[in-house]
Chain A
Amino acid sequence: MAQPRTLYDKLWDSHAVHQDAGGGTLIYIDLHLTHEVTTPQAYEGLRLANRRMHRTDKTIAVPDHNVPSTPDRMEKIEDPESRLQLETLKTNSEDFGVEYIPMDDIRQGIVHIIGPEQGLTQPGKTIVCGDSHTATHGAFGALAFGIGTSDVEHTLATQTLSMQKSKNMLVRVDGKLPVGTTSKDLILAIIGRIGTAGGTGHVIEYQGEAFTSLSMEGRMTVCNMTIEGGARAGLIAPDEKTFEYLKGKPRSPKSNAWEAAVAFWKTLKTDDDAKFDKEVIIKAEDIIPHVTWGTSPEDVLPITASVPNPNGMTDPNKKSGTERSLKYMGLEADTPLDGIPVDKVFIGSCTNGRIEDLRAAASVIKGHKVADTVQMLVVPGSGLVKYQAEEEGLDEIFLAAGAEWREPSCSMCLGMNPDILQPGERCASTSNRNFEGRQGRGGRTHLLSPEMAAAAAVTGHLTDVRKVVSQ
């Protein structure tokens, strides 16, 4: 009998090209997603060493981080550095022969939204990108992880990466999520439980009804934020929902190849007796809507809770960290989270910029008005998401409520385009990081689901979406 293996073990083994004496393995990469921020120096490196790409048919390029979310973006991009970086991606892609999706193409969008949307993301693939949220694609049972620019260059030159194998970690969430609780609340609750280093050195596999009952969009939200739990990659074994999502997508396998691919994809699951190095088991029924209060994604609590009090914390690191967070966030200890006023609401990003997220936010906001004190930005994750939302009339719901309907971009998730917070501004954000200065210097970020963000927009403060919906 062969040793029982996890899904990660299988994906690793099937991509191992060579093992060196020091324990490193050369792993073959099936898909390389590229964008403008983390590639210029990689192409420069190839040029300086007089190297070519090993092959061009497994790489695709799309601009996203610097792209303005305003309609005038095709006429002008004010920031000369942003403009140069975007032009550099186009030039490098053309010079080396990489498929490039231009800014005025309806397929343009956040790299992690367009991979699945185009059917490029498939079960069993190894997928890399110079972006930590590459973890998103693990929702399809693909081994997907973020890399730095040196590894982007290595992938361009060799279509492989030299890696050390990670350990296996299981996160199992049994039962169904309660009504009003979303995939975002689920992953925030998991990060709150394991901490931002809980998955370091591991690949997480998510198992249990809480994940299998999620849509593909919901699974992507979970896997996307796996990096916030310290693991480079998260995995959910592919199932009928995965196949259904991919069927007919532009780059999915066609006709006979489709049948063969699905037959193979069905083998991609953890063996019954496989061992994990670390296991976390959680009950879904206990998870209610969550929101972050501090400057790390692990600083998260149910919306019914209050801001923590550092007095009485025994761990000196935790105490000083909490004090620093509260000072930065401008919050008093013991303040109820429900009721903290916000200045901005951001719906979008690779975490929550898909069609289902926009539908969810629209369903909460429909018939309401955005509070006078709040500016609300809705930024679809891709041109196709935007088109679909407009077909469904979601744009009209947002506009009627007083929100701004923008063009696809990473936008206010990290503020590389003009969408940033001013010092001291507080934002209810569907993005993935609440680090100091992430959305703009001095800006204060509260991470939450699209439904919770919409509820905050309506009431003008953080609140329990279940109260807004039941009104």
Chain B
Amino acid sequence: MDKFTVLTGVAAALPMVNIDTDMIMPKQFLKTIKRTGLGTAAFFDMRYDESEAERPEFILNQAPYRQSKILLAGRNFGCGSSREHAPWGLLDFGFRCMIAPSFADIFYNNCFKNGILCVTLPEEQVEALTAQADGSDFTVDLDKLEITAPDGSVTTFELDPTRRHNMLNGLDDIALTLEHLDKIKTFEAKQQAEQPWLYT
């Protein structure tokens, strides 16, 4: 996973509630056996018409939002399916940070596994940032837990310390867990003694 320290870039606003992962990445793109190449498919039905031509009114089809790195959305962002193809598509498009009043649990976790920072802020703060999303740059500083808007105003946010540490250092979750392999084996031995039917 790539490190995440300071991100500067354009923020696009999709001020809708309950944007689900079917909307972010429709089913026909789940048949891939690769993680890459899904950027063109992100928000497919909103982004393209029936003949697969771009809809000019959709924000991600407009300059400078084509180069967006930050997405501002409504509450319960990423609800529905566990498909990691949704964050893969967002990442491939160029997004590294999502900001919303709330996220669905599985999507939230999937984003962090792919180096996408999800920032949860109160609804009025998301709206205030959305009001400034005019194509100018925002800066998200994970070390300081701060978002600097184009007008220079600073919004602070909270994040679980483990996630922050792992992202700042670009750590590999599996390698971290395998450091505890002895404990996993000890757990298995104890569980097998107590609940032998789990090991048949």
Q: Which residues from chain A sit less than 8 Å from chain B, CB to CB?
A: 17-18, 20-24, 26, 28, 30, 37-38, 40-41, 44, 49, 51, 54, 57, 65-66, 79, 81-82, 84-85, 88, 124-125, 130-132, 145-151, 153-154, 157-160, 162, 164, 166, 196-197, 200-201, 227, 230-232, 253-254, 257-258, 260-261, 264, 296, 298, 317, 320-321, 324, 414-416, 423, 433, 435-438, 441-442
Contacts and interface: CB of A to CB of B under 8 A. Distances in A.
Contact of B27 (A158, A159, A416): A416
Interface in B33-62: 33-35, 45, 50
Contacts of A54: 184
Contacts of B50: 423, 441-442
Contacts of A253: 197, 200
Interface in B1-51: 16-18, 20, 22-23, 26-28, 30-35, 45, 50
Contacts of A65: 30
Given A81-B31, A201-B105, A28 B22 contact: no
A311 to B, nearest CB: 19
Contact of A22 (B22, B81, B162): B162
A150 B113 contact: yes
B31 A17 contact: no
A86 to B, nearest CB: 10
A85 B80 CA distance: 22
A23 B75 CA distance: 25
B11 to A, nearest CB: 20
Contacts of B191: 28
A230 B104 contact: yes
Contacts of B102: 197, 200
Contacts of B87: 148
A53 to B, nearest CB: 12
Interchain residue pairs A-B with the least CB separation, the first 7: A22-B162, A150-B113, A148-B110, A253-B197, A40-B33, A148-B84, A81-B31
Contacts of B18: 196-197, 296, 298, 321
Given A26-B183, A158-B174, 18 more contacts: A22-B161, A28-B187, A40-B33, A41-B34, A57-B199, A124-B195, A148-B110, A162-B173, A196-B18, A196-B76, A196-B79, A264-B195, A317-B74, A317-B75, A436-B22, A436-B45, A437-B22, A437-B23
A134 to B, nearest CB: 8
A197 B23 contact: no
12 contacts: A85-B33, A125-B198, A130-B82, A148-B87, A158-B181, A162-B162, A197-B79, A200-B104, A200-B105, A227-B80, A433-B81, A437-B23
Contacts of A37: 30-31, 83
Contacts of A41: 33-35, 84
Nearest to A17: B187
B67 interface: no
Interface of B: 16-18, 20, 22-23, 26-28, 30-35, 45, 50, 74-76, 79-84, 87, 102-106, 109-110, 113-114, 160-163, 165, 172-174, 176-178, 180-181, 183-184, 187-188, 191, 195-200
Given A416-B30, A437-B45, A38 B105 contact: no
Contact of A260 (B31, B172, B197): B197
Given A23-B160, A26-B183, A296-B18, A154 B195 contact: no
A38 B83 contact: yes
Nearest to A163: B109
Contact of B198 (A23, A30, A438): A30
Given A17-B187, A22-B161, A151 B109 contact: yes
Contact of B174 (A148, A153, A320): A153
B38 to A, nearest CB: 11
B22 A433 contact: yes
A47 B75 CA distance: 37
B165 A22 contact: yes
